[in-house]
Each structure stands twice: as C-alpha cells, then as structure tokens.
Amino acid sequence: MKRLKPVNVVIVGGGWTGLAMAAEVTRRTSLNVLVLERGPMHRTKDYASTMDELDYSIRLRFMQNIADETVTHRHSAKNPSVPVRQYGSFLPGSGVGGAGEHWNGNSFRYSPEVFRLASHLKERYPATVLPESLAVQDWGISYEELEPYYWRVERMMGVSGKAGNLRGKLIDGGNIFEGRREFEYPTPPLKRSYFMTLFEESVKKLSYHPYPVPAATLSEAYRNPDGISRPGCAYCGYCETFGCMIGAKAQPTNTLMPLLSQRNNFELRTGSWVRRLVKESQRVTGVQYTNEAGEEVFQPADVVILASFTLSNVRLLSLSGIGTPYDPASGKGTLGKNLTHQIMTKLNLFFDHPMNAFMGTGALGTAISDFDGDQALKGTEGILRGGSLLAISTGNRPIQSFDTLPPGAVPSNWGSQWKKTALTWRDKVGTIVLFGEHMSYRQNFMDLDPTYTDKFGDPLLRLTLDWTDHEQRQRQFSYGIFKNIAREIGAAAHAAAPPVHPYTVTQYQSTHLQGGAIMGTTRANSVVNTSLQHWDAPNLWVVGASSFPQNASVNPTLTVLAVTYRAADALIDQYLKHPGALA
Amino acid sequence: MRRREFLAIPAAALGGSLWYTLAGQPIRTNPDKGTLHIPLRFFTATEAQTISAACERIFPSDESGPGASEAGVVVYIDRQLAGPYGRDQFRYTKGPFVSSLPEHGYQGKATPREIYREGIGMLGAFSSLSAEQQDQKLKSLEETVFFQMLRIHTIEGMFCDPMHGGNAGMIGWQLIGFPGPQMGYRQDIDAHYGSAFRPQSKSLEQILGHPVRVLEDT
C-alpha cells in the first residue's frame, strides 16, 4: 500500500465538525491539517441550479449514495437484520459540508438538565418508576461549561432568535424554559408566516409560551467575528435537502470553507473514502483510504480526528478494532452502546382558507417548550420525558405535499374523487410536530453486521433499535396536546391518534442518530472522555453526535458544534502542549 | 440497438394554459397544432400507451382539471426508467434478499425497470378496456409494488419541474397554484395572511436562464 507524506493532523469527514476542528487548528497553530472527504466539493454558486424537488428531495442527490453503503436494522437482538435498501428514517449527507449543507438550520441549545439526565431522573423519580433497561448517563460536562461555546457557535452562524433567559432574567416572547444565556441572539427572529401567527395566538390562549425557533438562517445581513458576511433569508422554501443559493442559511461551505481556503496549512482531498484507522499499541498512526483514482493509500498523521456522521464514526472504529464492542447481554464493552434516534410525532391541521405554504425556510417556525423535559408532567402520563413542540413553515414543495388529506376524506388514494379532494385541501394545511426526547436503553446499540457489506466488501453497521413503551406513550402524550391546539386554532380537521408501531426505517424521523462512541467520565462507561479524546488512544479524537449519551428533544447541531469547539480547545491548549491522555 | 420508438401526441393535448371561469370551473387552452413525436428511451410505443392510460386513471383529466395525459406523465416515467434510477443505482442492491417486515420497506431484487415490465404484463390490453374496467383492473393491483410505484411516479410526473419531462407547460403547477422555484418571497412571507397568493409559475430553467443537467441524463 502506498504510504503518503505524513501530516500533523488528519481529519476524517468534511462536514460541520471536521471543518470546525480544521478551522480551529489551522487558526491557532502552524500544524498542517488534512481533511479527507468521501463526497465532492459544494459551492454556494452552484446551489441555484439545484432547486429541483425531484432530483434533490426525492432522488436525494446530496445524500450518500445508499447503493455504495448502508446500514442494517433489526428490532431486537433476537431478530435477523435486513439492510435499509432505500433512505427513509434518516438522510446522511455527502460532500464538503455534509448534512450541514442540506439541513434546516434549527439551532436550539439543549436545556441544562439534559447534561445530567441520569442524576436528574434519580432525584426526580423513585427508582421503581425507571425502566430497568434505561441506560441514560450524565455527560460529564455541564450546560454552564458549554454556554460560552454555544455563544461562539451562535455568532459564527449568526443564529436568529429571541432570548428567553438573559442572565437569569426571563423574557416574554423568548423561550423562558431555556438555560441562562449571557447574550441576546446575534440576529433578530425571522419573519412570521401566516400559519405561525395562527399557532402563536392559539397557544397563548392555552397559556403556553411560544417563541421563534432559533435559526441558523439569517433574518438580516450579518458579518460574523471571522469577518464572513452573509445576506438575510429570502424564504424561497428550498432548505431541507437543498443547499442555500444565497448563503443565508449557515453551512460549512459558506462559514468555514471561506476561511480554510485562505490558509496554507490546510488541505482538503475530496473523493477520499476512509476505510480504516490504524492503531499500534496506544497510538493511532494514521488512516487507510481509497482515493479518487481507486487506489488504497496510507496517510500517516500525528493526530487523527474522526469527524464523520454518527454512524460512520462508530463503523470506522468497529472496522478498525479500536475499543471494546458493547455486549448488551453482559452490559460490558462501550463501543456501539446508547444508540438513540428521535421520536417525532406529527399532526396536520386542515383549514378552510389558504396558507401560501410554498413560502418558508427550513427553520421557520414557532416553538413551545412547555412540555419539554418533565416540567409539565404530573406523574400520571406514564412518561419520564416530554418534548418540544413546533409549528413549522419549512416551505411546501408540490410533489411531497400534494397527497396531504384529512384522514378518511376519501376512500381511495387514486382516481377522480381522490384528485378532487386533494385539490380541495390543497394549501390549507399547517403542520405541528413534537420532537420527543429519546432516552438510551441497554437493548439499543450498534455493531458490525455479520452478513451485509459495502461496495468494498467491508461489513455494514448494524442498528439494533426499537421503540419502547415509553416512546409509544410519548406519542399518545403528544397527541393529547395536539388535540387541544387543534381545537383552539379552529382547524376544520386533523388526524386521528397515531398508531402504536415498531421502529420503521421507511418513515422519516430526523437525521439525529446519536451515540455509539459516547463521552463520559470513566473508560468503563464511555468511548471518549469529555474532551472527546479516545480512552484507548490519546492521539485519536472522535467528534460529533456519536458522543451524546442520549438524545435531547431538540435538534442537535448547535450542541454538536459546541462540544466540538470545546474539544478543539482541549486539543490545542492541553494535548498539543503535553501529548498524552488528558487528566 | 433497439429500433427507435416514438410516442405520438397531438401538441394541443399537452401542457397549455389553465383558466378558471367565474364559477371556478377550470378551462385549459392550448393553441398548438400538429402532432408531437416524442422519442421514447425505455418503453415501446405500445407500452407507453398502456402506462399512459393507467396514469390517466390514477390522476384523471376531468371536471376538476387536467391530469396525467396533459402533463405528459408517461414521458417523465420513461426517462426515469431509462436513467440510473430505473437501473436501481440509488438503492442498496446487494444480497441476500430476504422478505421482512413492512417496517423495512421494499426488500425485493427487481429494479424499477423490471417492476414496470412485469406490471405492464399484468395490465394486459389495458388501453382497450372501458374506464370502469380499467379502474377495476387497477383496483385488483393496488397491493402490488408495481401499482404503488406507478401511483407515486404519477404524482411525481404531475408536479416535477418540466425539465424532467412531466408537468408539461407547468400544467400541474398551474393546477395547484405552485409558483415554481422562485428566488424568494421576502416581501410576501408575512403578507397575504389568509388569502391566496399565487405568483405565475416559472420553471427552474426559466428562472436561471440556462439548461440544467438532470439526474436521468447522467
């Protein structure tokens, strides 16, 4: 195998976390940094010609090609696994910027108690109430430690929003349930769609506390501390699964790449498919990858930063034999444990007048956190954690929104009567969503599949994952809230209670898969320490949502980046000065 | 190489402009004359007629407005099947193939092309049946992978950007009042509350002023 010229730092993955690490190391040190990205380059100027629902939302041109590599799924360790043959429940991105190019831009902070969930549950509930299989852990870091890093990410992106807790003072119109913020958002909230105004009026009448969804999409022109200027949002409705053609939505290619491309200690190699990390005794010596020409090469490096998607981070560690695979039967081992996703429950509200819902932007919405965490729970709901509720105006595109009808409105889903009914209800729909907190359980984990392989013949990652009674009850709980809102808002119709069903790979939840290489305070309970340094190899750092011990209710990107910047500080300020395991 | 096959359609039957009477009745006009000979990439002319007739029952042209025929849905499907999607280049197709739960989605080996060829066989002499017979035939196929695919493809062909061969003359977008991929609505997003705002539809190529390389041509 060809051995390439050594570099100081090699980073696997050119998405938000990989490029953020690269930006910090190249800014603050003279070390040379190489980013290996399997997909192609993306640029803002190319995005206008991608405003095509068919190729980008249906055929998913910005996603990893599932024909090359996928994951397998089984509901429990007793079942055989089968491959996810077509994308459904999550959409991993490919190319420079990764999923950070085609995300919606929802930029919430996690609430303080999320970081000490295991302790919090023990304080709040008697032990008998907690499911035996519950595997939640404290993160080992606190909200207070992360607050300055959250602020850094918010300024880098120019997050638009309204503070609800400014230095301890609760502010009406912001999220009064959020953790203490030191500063107001860098840019004011986005404009409000018609549906958002209807939602806001109704939930206020129900004594809830609506606030604008914090968005990585600018409400007005903004220049960030790095000197990068971007314009305000145009509400074109092409956000999720698309790149922003004007750069209003913060993406790695319009915030970090402009800095990196100016730095002579930075190199990016696209079309580079990393296959293995190579570990010798207590060190990782570099990575093996297949380059654009199809050759297998070895890239030596002093420091390796694994910064790909959750699933790829866990798979690469597993394929490389780094760490001890988790065994659900004995509870021993840590690699692959605490796989979580997100329990999304959705309700379409039907109105008798038009919404003009083709206008919007990915993170345009009004949220309420009154049911987040456990502040609203009386103990009779049969659940330990709730979730965040959003009324969204992401922008309805015609193919995916056409067949949206009140349940039972028409017996068939084709033919004259169906068409007429669909046209009658066209553009009279508003959607509310509850993102439920998904806790970790002993039986939900990741390992390598014994049967199915990728295009190179390497084993696929296997997800063992199902909803428990808790998630089914969260769905029912969501529906109870939805019904009250539907009544108050005066909806002409809405859907029935969601059915109880097992985890479904064909149904979109979110791309917020988490865990598998979780952070913690001891090597016995985690794969990486709280600085995201691997316990078994001090020159290996594993960044991303793979480090989250369980899922919070809201979108993870802001938190992913906050812990990444914190890891960058630990790498630069501590490790590089005294290479070795951090105390 | 196979003999070139064409779909012959009167130009006036495709696309056009959509108007509404005061009573809300849709009227489609298209002054174009002559016959279009659209080259087929995957279907034979007979297969195209069969699929076209089936799409027309799924999304009929009727008193509520134009349907699959006016949108050229069959042209859209033909191009999709001829391209990488039809050959299953965006699906994980390594074996072993096993049957599993509905929660795991379609696990079969057949590609969209193969599913259509089998489906066309099941439809038989579909275009020669009466509308009622056609509906009965489709009803009997409702649970098949083929029918479910055909239904989805019909919706896609109605409302995709016209550069993909369907939604001819943006007739589908006119029908539902979708303006196309416009550059933005900064002045409109917080206006028009409660009343319909329907800018004139524009296609991506009209907005950009240059052609776009679509996935089916790659």
CA A199, CA A359: separation in Å to the nearest integer?
17
Residues of chain A contacting B193 with CB distance shorter than 8 Å: 194, 197
In a domain, A542, yes or no: yes
- The per-residue pLDDT for A513 is 95
* The two three-digit tokens of residue B104, written as one number: 């795991």
Residue A201: inside a domain, yes or no? Answer: yes
- Clarify whether residues A447 and A553 are in a common domain: yes
Question: Do A319 and A359 fall into the same domain?
Answer: no
Q: Under an 8 A CB cutoff, do B160 and A53 touch?
A: yes
* CA-based radius of gyration for chain A: 23
Write the CATH number for A492: 3.30.410
ipTM of predicted complex: 0.97
Contact between chains at A197 and B193 (C-beta distance less than 8 A): yes
Point out the domain boundary residue: A501, A523, A550: A501
Taking 70 as the threshold, does the pLDDT of residue B156 lie above it?
A: yes
Same domain membership, residue A37 and residue A108: yes
Count CB-CB contacts under 10 A for residue B1. Answer: 3
Both A570 and A474 in one domain: the answer is: no
User: Does residue A267 contact residue A250 with C-beta atoms inside 8 Å?
Assistant: no
Query: CATH no. for residue A54?
Result: 3.50.50.60
Distance CA A410, CA A372 (A): 36
Q: Label residues A487-523 b or e (16+ Cβ within 10 Å = b).
A: ebbebebbbeeeeeeebbbeeebbbbbbbbbbbbeeb
Is there a domain that residue A422 lies in?
Answer: yes
Residue A236 lies in a domain: no
A292 with A269, same domain? yes
Q: Is residue A282 part of a domain?
A: yes
- Shared domain check, A474 and A358: yes
Q: Are residues A300 and A374 in the same domain?
A: no
Q: What is the pLDDT of residues B87-105, one digit of tens each?
A: 999 999 999 999 999 999 9
Among A102, A512, A534, A578, which one carries the catalytic annotation?
Answer: A512
The sign of the CA dihedral B188, B189, B195, B200 is: positive
**B17-57 tens-digit pLDDT:** 999 888 888 999 999 999 999 999 999 999 999 999 999 99
> 3-state class of A49 per DSSP?
helix
Sign of the four-CA dihedral B3, B8, B11, B17: negative
pLDDT band at B2 (very low <50, low <70, confident <90, very high): low
Q: CA dist A185 to A163, A210, A296, B132, Å? A: 6, 17, 46, 61
Domain assignment of residue A39, yes or no: yes
State whether B65 and A83 contact (CB < 8 Å): no
State which residues form the domain around A262: 1-114+250-341+441-465+512-583
Residues of B in contact with A192 (CB under 8 A): 190
Nearest alpha-carbon partner for A514 in A280, A341, A273: A341
Look up residue A293 and give its DSSP letter: T
Distance CA B28, CA B31 (A): 10
pLDDT digits (tens, 9 = 90+) for B100-135: 999 999 999 999 999 999 999 999 999 999 999 999
From A184's Cα to the closest Cα of chain B, the distance in A is 24
End-to-end CA, chain B = 19
CB contact under 8 A, B156 and A399: yes
Using a CB-CB cut-off of 8 Å, the residues of chain B touching A353 are: 194-195
Residue owning tokens 């959003």: A390
Q: What is the pLDDT of residue A337?
A: 98
The three-state secondary structure class of A446 is strand
Domain total of chain A: 2
Confidence at residue A496, expressed as pLDDT on a 0 to 100 scale: 74
The answer to whether residue A494 is catalytic is no
**CA–CA distances in Å: residue A503 to residues A22, A68, A88, A337, B145:** 36, 24, 11, 18, 22
In a shared domain, residues A206 and A328: no
- Is A237 inside a domain boundary? no
Tell me: do A447 and A576 sit in the same domain: yes
The residues, ordered by sequence, that sit 6+ positions from B3 with a Cβ below 8 Å of its Cβ are none
Indicate whether A419 and A451 sit together in one domain.
no
Q: Do A83 and B94 touch (CB under 8 A)?
A: yes
pLDDT tens per residue across all 583 residues of chain A: 999 999 999 999 999 999 999 999 999 999 999 999 999 999 999 999 999 999 999 999 999 999 999 999 999 999 999 999 999 989 999 999 999 999 999 999 999 999 999 999 999 999 889 999 999 999 999 999 999 999 999 999 999 999 999 999 999 999 999 999 999 999 999 999 999 999 999 999 999 999 999 999 999 999 999 999 999 999 999 999 999 999 999 999 999 999 999 999 999 999 999 999 999 999 999 999 999 999 999 999 999 999 999 999 999 999 999 999 999 999 999 999 999 998 999 999 999 999 999 999 999 999 999 999 998 998 888 999 999 999 999 999 999 999 999 988 999 999 999 999 999 999 999 999 999 999 999 999 999 999 999 999 999 999 999 999 999 999 999 999 999 999 999 998 777 777 778 999 988 888 999 999 999 999 999 999 999 999 999 999 999 999 999 999 999 999 999 999 999 999 999 999 999 999 7
Contacts of B67 in chain A (CB under 8 A): 419
Dist CA A206 CA A482 (whole Å): 12
Residue A131 falls within a domain, yes or no? no
One domain for residues A565 and A525: yes
* Tens of pLDDT, residues A247-291: 999 999 999 999 999 999 999 999 999 999 999 999 999 999 999
> Are B146 and B110 a contacting pair, CB within 8 Å?
no
Instruction: Say what the pTM is.
Output: 0.97
Do residues A492 and A363 both lie within one domain? yes
Q: Which of residues 171-210 of B touch A (CB under 8 A)?
A: 172-173, 175-179, 181-186, 188-190, 192-197, 204, 207-208, 210
